[in-house]
Amino acid sequence: MATLFSYVVDHDLGFAPNPSAGYCTLVHCKFGGMRGRRNIVESARVGDWILGSGGRNKDSAGHGKLIYLMRVDEKLPFERFLVDTRFRGRRDCKDFGSGNVYALISRRYFYFGEKTLELSKVPSELATDQLIKRGPGFRRDYPADQLKRLVKWFEGKYEVGRHGDPCGKRLG
């Protein structure tokens, strides 16, 4: 059964998540790094979903706004991600020595960025308190039956892919 991982996107600069060239990737954010503590990138499995919502940072969207939803289609070891020709030239296909172990790859994603989806647009039976995370860390307690309905709702309302630019200023 799929799990929904929900977290706050503190700064959405088009880097992590990176919705470009037909893929949405999560690589340089929400990983354990040098501390070795498991985070979303280590914990998520193929078939799981990740939801990033807005935070208070000026480069984010604000609470109650959905920035993206992606299905984990591949979980690549970081070293394989770095040499995979599909990702060559992308801003996130670099090793910054931060201790990355995996890269999460999606072809089935809904990225809104600055054109965030207000939580109030999501049917109330799906927009429960368990959908949106506040503060640091992540949550994964959204019921599996609701996740199926949430995904079906997204698929019926929106095309897969990128619907807007990042919320904050892009890095060079």
Return d(Cα 96, Cα 128) in angstroms, integer: 37
Indicate whether 151 belongs to any domain.
yes
8 Å CB contact between 167 and 54: yes
Q: Is the pLDDT of residue 59 over 70?
A: no
Indicate whether 81 belongs to any domain.
yes
Indicate whether 167 belongs to any domain.
no
Indicate whether 139 belongs to any domain.
yes
Which of the pair, 171 or 143, is modelled with greater confidence? 143
Q: What is the pLDDT of residue 33?
A: 54
Q: What is the DSSP string of 96-131?
A: -SS---EEEEESSEEE-GGGPEEGGGS-TTTS-TTT
Contacts of 81 (CB under 8 A, 6+ apart): 25, 27, 87, 93, 102, 103, 105
Q: Is the pLDDT of residue 171 over 80?
A: no
Return d(Cα 129, Cα 142) in angstroms, integer: 9
Indicate whether 147 belongs to any domain.
yes
Q: Is the pLDDT of residue 165 over 60?
A: yes
Residue 150: which domain range? 4-162
Q: What is the pLDDT of residue 172?
A: 39
**Count of structural domains, the chain:** 1
Q: What is the pLDDT of residue 36?
A: 60
Q: What is the pLDDT of residue 29?
A: 76
Indicate whether 168 belongs to any domain.
no
Q: Is the pLDDT of residue 103 over 90?
A: yes
Report the percentage of the chain scoring pLDDT > 90. Answer: 58
Which pTM value belongs to this model?
A: 0.91
